[in-house]
Copies of this chain bind each other. A is one copy, B any other.
Amino acid sequence: MDLTLTDDQLMIREAAQSFLADTSDSAAVRSAMASSTGFDAAVWQRIAGELGWCATAVPEQYGGLGLGPVALALLLEQMGRHLLCAPFFSTVCLAANWLAEGGCDASRQRFLPEIAEGKLRLTMPVNESANDWIDGKQVLRARREGAGWRLDGICARVPDAGTADWLLLPARLDERSGQHWATGMFAVPRNASGLNIDALETWDATRRFFRVELNGVTLMPQQRVDHAHRGIDGAMRSAALARLYLAAEQLGGAQACLDLTVAHTATRKQFGRTLASFQAVKHRCAEMMVRIEALRSAVYGAAAYAADSVHGEPPEALALECAMASALAADTYFYCAQEAIQLHGGVGFTWEYDPQLYFKRAQASSHWFGTADALRERIAAAVFA
């Protein structure tokens, strides 16, 4: 395994960093937070259309760039660093990722090219379980109705559902699959009849979440989109990758917390000295850097591992790699955001300064696909197996 970044990858990182420094600075983030949709449509247009970021990891056969998880993780790192407000994670890291790993051929043909072109926004629910989308905890029920399906139930937390074109929703079927209830994945257009989407007012306003309720939503047969054979393994792989991308985003956020703190302490004076000259402040910044570089190693390593791994492979080893990166990311991001507030002193807990934006995101993203504790328990189970 070689962790050397290729020229392509370095270029992507560089371009993302410079684009986002311009378009997603503190003022832009605050303006997006206050907007009705939660993101700047013009910026989204450039990201999805001109820059083609949505195509990064989509396989070439579906019109993507096929650059794989390393390049996508590098993008996410920069997005996290700049707190980008956009439906990118939901469309690319949740939906397109799931389609590529676990979707049937028809659904991939149907959706992936348009996602890659930046013409379509999709989303999926985020659940709090560390056991992925296959653990049967879905609260949606799908019953056969004629040749098609009828869906009922509630998804408590679906990111960007209010602006997505399609929702991919896992639902429990009234069929058994081994010891478990079988699960199917269904593509539901946002304007489907019987679908109610209510915005949630979250503390972290850099992302929008919605409560989605389905009351007898009827679907055509082809709207069930999971692959007949690869469904379970694909779901596990895509869940692992989603964790990885979130970890990359958290890495970027943690780095920003350190950067803000180093910059602040370099200029702010107390007792006639810069804060940065106090050894305790230095050591705490150094401790942040240690944790961040450790996380960076974890994220880059897991991404390289994911790039080397192949579809046919059992997903367990990849799941552990990504669980590792994810558990570390949740803790590191929160730690760094906490330290950023603390080391900013009085201004650290004001609305006006930026540490609070990272702090809220750090807390909100700490349990997206299971808490760090739950992921570690999963790792322990594997180690002791």
Contacts and interface: CB of A to CB of B under 8 A. Distances in A.
Interface in A266-282: 278-280, 282
A343 to B, nearest CB: 13
Contacts of A278: 279
Contacts of A283: 280
Interface in A241-281: 278-280
Interface of A is mostly: helix
Contacts of A282: 280
A279 B278 CA distance: 7
Nearest to A286: B280
Contacts of A280: 279-280, 282-283
A21 B282 CA distance: 39
Nearest to A282: B280
A377 to B, nearest CB: 15
A278 to B, nearest CB: 6
A282 B279 CA distance: 10
Nearest to A281: B279
A107 B282 CA distance: 62
Of residues A278, A282, A283, which shows the largest number of chain B Cβ atoms within 10 Å of its Cβ? A283
Contacts of A279: 278-280
A100 to B, nearest CB: 43
A275 to B, nearest CB: 11
Nearest to A277: B279
A278 B283 CA distance: 11
Closest 6 CB pairs of A and B: A279-B279, A279-B280, A280-B283, A280-B280, A278-B279, A280-B282
6 contacts: A278-B279, A279-B279, A279-B280, A280-B280, A280-B282, A280-B283
